[in-house]
C-alpha cells in the first residue's frame, strides 16, 4: 500500500510539473501556420528569381536602387541576424507579460510596404552574388535551420519577449518570414519596371 501511495505521489508531481511545460510550447496550429508561412515565402522568393537571366537579375530601376539579387542577399544577411537575435531572446528568462501586439500585425508587415525604412548597414547588400543559384542556396540554408527548429521545438515562444520590439519570440519568427514577403513584392516592382530587360 505504501509503495502504491508513493507511486501515486510521484505520478501527481510529474503531472503537475510536466503539464505546464507541454502547455507552454507551440500549439499544433501555431506550428503549422508558422511553417506554412515560412515555406510559402521561401518558395515565392525562388519562383521570383531562379528563372531570371543575368541581365534581369542585375537590373536596377535607378542607379541607387537594389536589383533582384540585392534583395536576396539582403534577406540572407537579415535572416542570419534575426536568427541570432531570436537565439539570444530564447536564452533569457521567460517574461510574465504577453506580447502587446497580435500575430496579424506581423502578417500585415509583409503586405503593406507604405512605410519603407532604410536598412541597417550590416544588412546592406554588397553585390556578393552573380547568379541566383548560390544566393538561393544560402537563403535556403538559413531557412532550413529555422524550419527545423520550428518543427521540433517545445520551447515557450509566447513568453519570451524580443527586447525593444514589442513582440514575442513566435511573432518574431513570423516577422522574419513576413519580412521576406516585403522584398518579394520589391522584386516584383523591379520586374514591372518599364525598362526591365525582356526575357530571351
Whole-number average pLDDT of the chain = 87
Mean pLDDT, rounded, for 32-47: 96
- Give, for 161, the enclosing helix (H) or strand (E): strand 161-162
Provide the residue ranges of all domains of the chain, joining segments of one domain with +: 27-191
CB 68 within 8 A of CB 61: no
Instruction: Please tell us whether the domain made up of 27-191 is placed in CATH 3.90.1150.10.
Output: no
Q: What are phi and psi of 146, to 5 degrees?
A: -70, -40
Q: What is the pLDDT of residues 84-134, one digit of tens each?
A: 999 999 999 998 888 888 888 888 877 777 777 788 899 999 999 999 999
Q: How would you label 69-95 residue by residue, b for 16+ Cβ within 10 Å and e otherwise?
A: bbbbbbbbbbbbebbebbeebbeeebe
**Cα separation, 74 vs 126, whole angstroms:** 9
178-193 pLDDT, tens digit each: 999 999 999 999 999 9
The pLDDT confidence band at residue 4, using thresholds 50, 70 and 90, is: low
Strand partners, 161: 168
Beta bridge partners of 167: 162
Amino acid at each position: 500500500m505504501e509503495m502504491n501511495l508513493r507511486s501515486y505521489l510521484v505520478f501527481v508531481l510529474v503531472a503537475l510539473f510536466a503539464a505546464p511545460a507541454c502547455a507552454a510550447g507551440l500549439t499544433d496550429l501555431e506550428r503549422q501556420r508558422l511553417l506554412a508561412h515560412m515555406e510559402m515565402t521561401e518558395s515565392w522568393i525562388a519562383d521570383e528569381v531562379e528563372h531570371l537571366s543575368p541581365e534581369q537579375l542585375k537590373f536596377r530601376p535607378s542607379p541607387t536602387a537594389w536589383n533582384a539579387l540585392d534583395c536576396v542577399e539582403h534577406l540572407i544577411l537579415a535572416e542570419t541576424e534575426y536568427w541570432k537575435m531570436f537565439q539570444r531572446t530564447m536564452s533569457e528568462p521567460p517574461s510574465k507579460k504577453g506580447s502587446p501586439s497580435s500575430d496579424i500585425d506581423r502578417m500585415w508587415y509583409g503586405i503593406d510596404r507604405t512605410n519603407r525604412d532604410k536598412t541597417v548597414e550590416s544588412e546592406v547588400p554588397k553585390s556578393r552574388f552573380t547568379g541566383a543559384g548560390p544566393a538561393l542556396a544560402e537563403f535556403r540554408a538559413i531557412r532550413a535551420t529555422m524550419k527545423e527548429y520550428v518543427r521540433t521545438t517545445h520551447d515557450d515562444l509566447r513568453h519570451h519577449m524580443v527586447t525593444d520590439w514589442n513582440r514575442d519570440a513566435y511573432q518574431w519568427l513570423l516577422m522574419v518570414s513576413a519580412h521576406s514577403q516585403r522584398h518579394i513584392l520589391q522584386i516584383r516592382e523591379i520586374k514591372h519596371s518599364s525598362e526591365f530587360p525582356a526575357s530571351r
